[in-house]
């Protein structure tokens, strides 16, 4: 069990914001954030933080919505292919770090044994990248927050016996 660290919420948020400004949204790793803020979060809080931060960062400036790393490199000329490929590799590395974090959460009992850390990492990356695309397309911050909450509602509960829904048995007549 990790030791409890006391912290000031505003100081932690300021530290995280400075890290995002310094390295960018795509360039900031979970390790960067925990080092900057001194916080370690349970897996759902990690996912919730990333998804909500994606909404905030991609809608912060109404005239410049979305994410340059997503919007600017999905399709590129032949000359820009190395840049596009570097961004793909960067996103894959971020997903790998999330998978590792979720594997640790599973080992610590914060995620059920039935959870799939690789799928959860891909899920979080897909949602955050989709938020960037939809922000660029003009979805409102309020709608993106609703999307974020909907996505997070599917997060597996810790120590859940199974990811399948419970179905009551039918009584024999």
- Tens of pLDDT along 14-65? 888 788 778 876 778 767 777 787 766 677 888 998 999 999 999 998 888 8
Element (H, E) at 112: none
SS3 state of residue 173 = coil
Instruction: State the residue for tokens 């690789």.
Output: 118
pLDDT: is 24 or 135 the higher one?
A: 135
Indicate the pTM of the whole model.
Answer: 0.67
Tell me, what's the pLDDT at 109?
Answer: 87
User: What is the distance between the alpha carbons of residues 16 and 30, in angstroms, rounded to a whole number?
Assistant: 10
Rounded to the nearest angstrom, the gap between the alpha carbon of residue 103 and the centroid of all alpha carbons in its chain is: 15
- Pinpoint the alpha helices (H) of 72-139: 81-107, 117-137
The answer to whether the Cα torsion of 12, 155, 29, 74 is positive or negative is negative
Q: Averaging pLDDT over each range in 18-27, 29-38, 117-126, 159-168, which range is the top one?
A: 117-126
C-beta separation of 16 from 33 below 8 A: yes
Contact 132, 74 (CB under 8 A): no
What is the domain partition of the chain in residue ranges? 43-152
146 pLDDT more than 90: yes
Class of domain 43-152: mainly alpha
User: Is the pLDDT at 1 greater than 70, yes or no?
Assistant: no
Residues with Cβ within 8 Å of 118's Cβ and at least 6 positions away in sequence, in order, are: 99
* 29 within 8 A of 97, measured Cβ to Cβ: yes
């Amino acid at each position: 069990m990790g030791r409890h660290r006391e912290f000031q919420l505003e100081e932690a948020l300021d530290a995280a914001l400075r890290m995002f400004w310094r390295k960018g949204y795509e360039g900031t790793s979970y390790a960067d954030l925990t080092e900057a803020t001194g916080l370690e979060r349970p897996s759902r809080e990690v996912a919730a933080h990333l998804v909500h931060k994606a909404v905030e960062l991609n809608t912060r400036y109404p005239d410049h919505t979305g994410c340059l790393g997503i919007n600017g490199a999905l399709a590129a000329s032949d000359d820009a292919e190395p840049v596009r490929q570097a961004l793909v590799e960067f996103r894959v590395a971020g997903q790998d770090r999330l998978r590792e974090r979720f594997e640790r959460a599973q080992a610590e009992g914060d995620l059920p044994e039935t959870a799939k850390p690789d799928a959860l990492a891909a899920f979080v990356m897909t949602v955050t990248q989709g938020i960037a695309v939809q922000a660029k397309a003009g979805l409102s911050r309020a709608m993106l927050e609703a999307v974020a909450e909907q996505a997070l509602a599917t997060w597996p509960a810790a120590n859940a016996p199974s990811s399948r829904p419970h179905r009551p048995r039918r009584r024999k007549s």
